[in-house]
Amino acid sequence: MEGYKRLARTLIAKGAIIDYYQDTMQIPNGNVAKWDLIDHKGAAAVVAVRGDGRILMVRQYRNALERETLELPAGGLNGREEPTVRAAARELEEETGYVSANLELLNSIYTTVAFCNEKIDIYLARDLQPGTQHLDEDEYLNVEAWPVEELMQMIFEGKIQDSKTICGILTYAAKYGQED
């Protein structure tokens, strides 16, 4: 957009998952403002649909919320250049113990556009086959299978609040809900 110019970008903190920068920006009226930026390498999530139509979900503790959440299997890219379809396949097997040779991009989202560039590509996985679950050392989760209608009800009741999960479930239901 015209009138915006980055004058400086300063790394404030480097983390394991994100880097925190402060940008010095000149805005259209000529004023200078400080804006926060959270830089994220990206992620992938999976709507994994079993043959019976149930969707595989993971229940896990989330430190930021100080509670358990029910989410789609997902995880960060191993590097910015990793194809998200590869990350989706890896996370599906690591978290659920299933594999699929049939991954289709459903949607792409930016989670918090005001201050973060995290992009999550959400894939649909069908034709699931047993693989081997292998969680990270600090990862503890339970795999559950839910009918899409119940997941949608939990979204509408505010029981599921994770943005990638809401987007993935609602996109799947809108695109394929009548088929399964």
Could you read off the pLDDT of 136-179 as tens digits, one per residue?
A: 777 788 899 999 999 999 999 999 999 999 999 999 999 997 55
Taking the chain (180 residues) in runs of 10, the rounded mean pLDDT of each run is 90 93 95 96 97 95 91 94 95 94 96 94 95 77 94 97 97 79
pLDDT of residue 179: 52
Q: Choose, from 2, 66, 81, 137, the residue flagged as catalytic.
A: 137
* SS3 category, 81: coil
The rounded distance, in Å, linking the Cα atoms of 12 and 63 is: 22
| pLDDT for residue 180 | 45
Global confidence as pTM: 0.91
Tokens of 143: 């795999």
**Which uninterrupted H or E stretch holds 26?**
strand 18-26
pLDDT of residue 136: 72
β-pairing, 32-40 vs 18-26, is antiparallel
As given in the structure block, the two tokens for residue 177 are: 């809900």
What pLDDT is attached to residue 178? Answer: 53
Give the HSE-up count for residue 97: Cα atoms under 13 Å, Cβ half-sphere: 9
Give yes or no: 137 in active site.
yes
